[in-house]
Amino acid sequence: MDIYSTVRVNVGSGYDVTIGRGIIDCCGQLLSGLLSTRRAAVVTDSNVQPLYLERVVRSLEADGFTVTSFAFEAGELSKNIATLGKILEFFAQSGLTRKDCAIALGGGVVGDITGFAAGCYMRGIDYIQMPTTMLAAIDSSVGGKTAIDLETGKNLAGLFIQPRAVLCDVDCMSTLSHEIYADGLAEAVKAGILNDPELFALFERGEAADKPEIVIDRCVRYKAGVVEQDEKETGLRKMLNLGHTPAHAIEKLSDYHIPHGRAVAMGLGIMARASAKRGCCSTECAARISRALACCGLPDNTDYAPDDMAAVAASDKKRTAGGVSVVLIRDIGDCIFEEIDLEHISGLFADGLEQE
Ligand code: NAD
């Protein structure tokens, strides 16, 4: 095992994010020092199961854990109430007590639904995040947001519940398709725009793909800092929604065929051009964002019509009484909130969709 860094997240009782290589084969050792229980239930999906489940179970058993496991069909369509019910039954049939622990082994879908199940089961048991996608490693495994999708919309039911630990094995990124890897980078480009010009420069130079540890470490440090100041998204944490108002509209209009990360990339391009049109940032800054996205193999725009996107944004759970709170870009590393009236959202999107 080769640990690159350990990032402390000081929320609730606090937890560590351990980033490194070879962690999958040593997870038993890492968790036995942390947990008092020796019973763990691992939840994963049908793609991750054949790749990593056996190694995780072997490592846990070698350190004295009694392990059960459950895999559901991979994909966002499984992040629903039916799968949640199956996971809760799996916990019960595994004989998990309040002192035992769930482990989410997979991408953001596995992490979100397993965290939610752990938060509900017996009114809350411990859970561990073992992210295996770039998106989960840099974003969804940290911060304690958990959720499932309802028919009415994405992530409409969920809990804030922090994991006991996050174990991030960077080697898992090597089995991701180029496309899924790139989807995760969209959230990292976002972190660079919000706060970290040096990280952003890695994307501009096309160097990010070769340096996953650095990208994950910097994104986790940033997210940990934000979540520590605003666990429940009443203020600063809303900054992390940069690009997400158009992104959620794009995901919904595509019937969720466009993955979250790709939609975020489009949303970043749209918000960059909209910011430039309003004189908030320079056109060169917007162009740099488009170039950084392109270097990651990500799109920066969509063909959906601004009115259709605005109609979805108007029903978004993040809207406020009078409008929608969006994040505008002033420069790389400098962004601000702005409340946009509902009737002006379509105009904002139209500005952002228009290419120079
Ligand atoms: P995902 O979990 O569906 O994973 C993408 C695909 O990669 C799946 O097919 C999965 O089986 C496969 N996969 C996972 N790890 C692999 C590996 N190492 N090798 C090969 N294939 C692998 O999607 P995602 O992009 O990781 O996450 C998206 C989800 O995360 C969405 O539901 C989104 O709402 C959620 N999300 C949550 C937060 C949060 O704060 N909780 C933040 C951002 C996104």
> Percent of the chain beyond pLDDT 70?
98
Query: Whose CA is closest to atom 1 on ligand 1?
Result: 107
Query: Which of 37-41, 70-74, 190-194, 255-259 shows the lowest mean pLDDT across its residues?
Result: 255-259
pLDDT for residue 211: 87
Q: Which of 86, 173, 88 is nearest to 137 (CA)?
A: 173
Q: What is the CATH number of the domain that holds 217?
A: 1.20.1090.10
Q: Order the strands of the 126-131 sheet from edge to edge.
A: 2-9, 15-21, 165-169, 126-131, 101-106, 39-45, 66-72
Claim to verify: residue 126 and residue 240 sit in the same structural domain: no
pLDDT band for position 295 (cuts 50, 70, 90): very high
Claim to verify: residue 268 and residue 341 sit in the same structural domain: yes
Q: What is the CATH number of the domain that holds 34?
A: 3.40.50.1970
Claim to verify: residue 7 and residue 153 sit in the same structural domain: yes
pLDDT for residue 230: 85
Q: Is the CB of 280 under 6 A from ligand 1?
A: no
Give the residue from 125, 141, 175 where a domain finishes.
Answer: 175
Retrieve residue 218's tokens.
């910097």
Q: What mean pLDDT is predicted for residues 331-348? A: 93
Retrieve residue 244's tokens.
């997400």
Claim to verify: residue 152 and residue 184 sit in the same structural domain: no
Claim to verify: residue 32 and residue 145 sit in the same structural domain: yes
Give the residue from 175, 205, 228 where a domain finishes.
Answer: 175
Judge residue 249's burial from the number of C-beta atoms within 10 Å of its C-beta, 0-12 exposed, 13-18 middle, 19 or more buried: buried
Claim to verify: residue 150 and residue 206 sit in the same structural domain: no
Q: Which atom of ligand 1 is nearest to the CA of 145?
A: 41
Q: What is the pLDDT of residues 213-238, one digit of tens each?
A: 999 999 999 999 999 998 887 778 88
Claim to verify: residue 69 and residue 204 sit in the same structural domain: no
- How remote is the CA of residue 279 from the centroid of ligand 1, in Å? 35
For 65, phi and psi rounded to 5 degrees?
Answer: -80, 145
pLDDT for residue 317: 64
Query: Whose CA is closest to atom 30 on ligand 1?
Result: 108
Judge residue 225's burial from the number of C-beta atoms within 10 Å of its C-beta, 0-12 exposed, 13-18 middle, 19 or more buried: middle
Choose one of 17, 134, 140, 154 to mutate for the ligand 1 pocket test, by most ligand atoms within 8 angstroms of C-beta. Answer: 140
pLDDT for residue 69: 98
For 12, phi and psi rounded to 5 degrees?
Answer: 60, -130
Statement: residue 166 has pLDDT above 80: yes
Q: Which of 180, 91, 87, 59 is nearest to 131 (CA)?
A: 180
Give the residue from 150, 175, 200 where a domain finishes.
Answer: 175
Q: How far apart are CA 309 and CA 253, in angstroms?
A: 8
Q: How far apart are CA 110 and CA 172, in angstroms?
A: 15
Residue 291 half-sphere exposure, CB side, CA atoms within 13 Å? 12
Q: What is the pLDDT of residues 260-269, one digit of tens each?
A: 999 999 999 9
Q: What is the residue range of 333's domain?
A: 178-353
The per-residue pLDDT of the chain, averaged, comes to 95
Q: Is the CB of 108 under 6 A from ligand 1?
A: yes
Statement: residue 318 has pLDDT above 70: no
For 135, phi and psi rounded to 5 degrees?
Answer: -60, -45
Choose one of 49, 78, 133, 149 to mutate for the ligand 1 pocket test, by most ligand atoms within 8 angstroms of C-beta. Answer: 133
Q: Check: pTM over 0.85? Answer yes or no.
A: yes
pLDDT for residue 209: 79
Claim to verify: residue 21 and residue 90 sit in the same structural domain: yes
Q: Which of 235, 260, 238, 253 is nearest to 155 (CA)?
A: 260
Claim to verify: residue 168 and residue 243 sit in the same structural domain: no
Claim to verify: residue 207 and residue 310 sit in the same structural domain: yes
Q: For residue 341, is it left (φ>0), alpha (ψ between -120 and 50) or beta? A: beta
Query: Is 25 strand, coil or helix?
Result: helix
Claim to verify: residue 186 and residue 288 sit in the same structural domain: yes
Count of H-run helices and E-run strands, the chain: 14, 11
Domain count, the chain: 2
Claim to verify: residue 67 and residue 147 sit in the same structural domain: yes
